[in-house]
Amino acid sequence: MTRDPRYDVLFEPVQIGPVTARNRFYQVPHCNGMGRTFPSSMARMRGVKAEGGWAVIATEQIDIHPSADITPATEGRLWSDEDIPYLARMCDAVHEHNSLALIELTHNGKYVTNAYSREVPIFVNHMPVVGTFPVQARAMDKQDIRDYRRWHLDAVKRSKKAGFDIVCCYAAHNLSLAGQFMLRRYNHRTDEYGGSLENRVRLFREIIEDAKEAVGDTMGVVVRFAVDELRGDEGMEWDKEGREIIEMLAELPDLWDVNVAEWHNDSQTSRFAEEGFQEPFIEFVKKVTTKPVVGVGRYTSADRMVSVINKGIMDMIGAARPSIADPFLPKKIEEGRIEDIRECIGCNICVSWDISTAPMRCTQNPTKGEEWRKGWHPERIEPKSTDDTVLIVGAGPAGLEAARALGQRGYDVTLADALEEPGGRVTRESKLPGLSAWARVRDYRIYQIQQMPNVMLYPASALDAAQILEFGATSVAIATGATWRRDGYGRAHQFPIPGTDGANVFTPDDIMAGTVPEGPVLVYDDDHYYMGGLIAEKLRAAGADVILVTPEVKVSAWTDQTLEQTRIQKRLIESGIDIILSHTLRVIGNRDVTLACGYTERERTVAASSVVMVTSREPVDQVYWDLVANQESLADAAITSVRRIGDCYGPATIAAAVYEGHRFARELGAGPMGDIPFRRELTALSADF
Query: Of 7, 26, 170, 186, which residue is the catalytic one?
Result: 170
Whether residue 361 lies inside any domain: the answer is no
Least confident residue range of 15-19, 155-159, 418-422, 669-673: 669-673
Which of 617, 632, 658 is the last residue before a domain boundary? 617
DSSP assignment of 202-256 equals: HHHHHHHHHHHHHHTTSSEEEEEEEEE-S-GGGS--IIIIIHHHHHHHTTSSSEE
Q: Do residues 453 and 581 share a domain?
A: no
Whether residue 365 lies inside any domain: the answer is no
Q: Do residues 641 and 589 share a domain?
A: no
Is the per-residue pLDDT at 687 higher than 70? no
193 is catalytic: no
Q: Do residues 61 and 189 share a domain?
A: yes
Q: Do residues 34 and 114 share a domain?
A: yes
Q: Do residues 427 and 455 share a domain?
A: yes
Is the per-residue pLDDT at 673 higher than 80? no
What is the 3 state secondary structure string of 335-364?
A: CCCHHHCCCCCCCCHHHHHHHCCCCCCCCC
**Mean pLDDT of the 665-680 span:** 89
Percent of the chain with pLDDT over 70: 99
556-597 residue pLDDT tens: 999 999 999 999 999 999 999 999 999 999 999 999 999 999
Question: What's 351's domain CATH number?
Answer: 3.20.20.70
Q: Do residues 182 and 154 share a domain?
A: yes
Q: Do residues 22 and 141 share a domain?
A: yes
Could you tell me which residues come within 8 angstroms of residue 30 by beta carbon, excluding any fewer than 6 positions away?
Answer: 58, 60, 320, 321, 323, 324
Q: Which amino acid is at 571?
A: R
Is the per-residue pLDDT at 686 higher than 70? no
| Separation CA 427–CA 193 (nearest Å) | 55
Whether residue 372 lies inside any domain: the answer is no
Query: Of 173, 264, 528, 583, which residue is the catalytic one?
Result: 173
Query: Of 266, 354, 417, 526, which residue is the catalytic one?
Result: 266
Q: What is the pTM of this model?
A: 0.96
Q: Do residues 85 and 213 share a domain?
A: yes
170 is catalytic: yes
119-152 residue pLDDT tens: 999 999 999 998 888 999 999 999 999 999 999 9
- What does the mean pLDDT of the chain come to? 96
Question: What's 395's domain CATH number?
Answer: 3.40.50.720
Whether residue 675 lies inside any domain: the answer is no
165 is catalytic: no
Tell how far CA 66 is from the center of its chain.
28
Is the per-residue pLDDT at 648 higher than 80? yes
DSSP 383: P
Is the per-residue pLDDT at 688 higher than 80? no
Could you tell me which residues come within 8 angstroms of residue 457 by beta carbon, excluding any fewer than 6 positions away?
Answer: 395, 403, 415, 417, 422, 446, 449, 450
Which of 339, 355, 371 is the last residue before a domain boundary? 355
- Beta strands across the sheet bearing 122-123: 122-123, 136-139, 127-128
Query: Of 7, 31, 193, 487, which residue is the catalytic one?
Result: 31
Q: Do residues 568 and 658 share a domain?
A: no
Q: Which amino acid is at 144?
A: D
Whether residue 515 lies inside any domain: the answer is yes
Question: What's 584's domain CATH number?
Answer: 3.50.50.60
Is the per-residue pLDDT at 1 higher than 90? no
440-463 residue pLDDT tens: 999 999 999 999 999 999 999 999
Q: Do residues 398 and 322 share a domain?
A: no
* Number of domains within the chain: 3
Which of 307, 335, 355 is the last residue before a domain boundary? 355
Strand partners, 91: none
Rounded to the nearest 5°, which phi and psi values hold at 207?
-70, -30
* Peptide linkage before 520 cis (omega within 30 of 0): yes
pLDDT value at residue 521: 98
Whether residue 366 lies inside any domain: the answer is no
Q: Do residues 446 and 315 share a domain?
A: no
Pairing, β 592-597 against β 603-607: antiparallel
316-357 residue pLDDT tens: 999 999 999 999 999 999 999 999 999 999 999 999 999 999
Domain range for 548: 484-617
Whether residue 374 lies inside any domain: the answer is no
Q: Do residues 130 and 92 share a domain?
A: yes
173 is catalytic: yes
| Separation CA 438–CA 433 (nearest Å) | 11
Is the per-residue pLDDT at 684 higher than 70? no
Whether residue 379 lies inside any domain: the answer is no
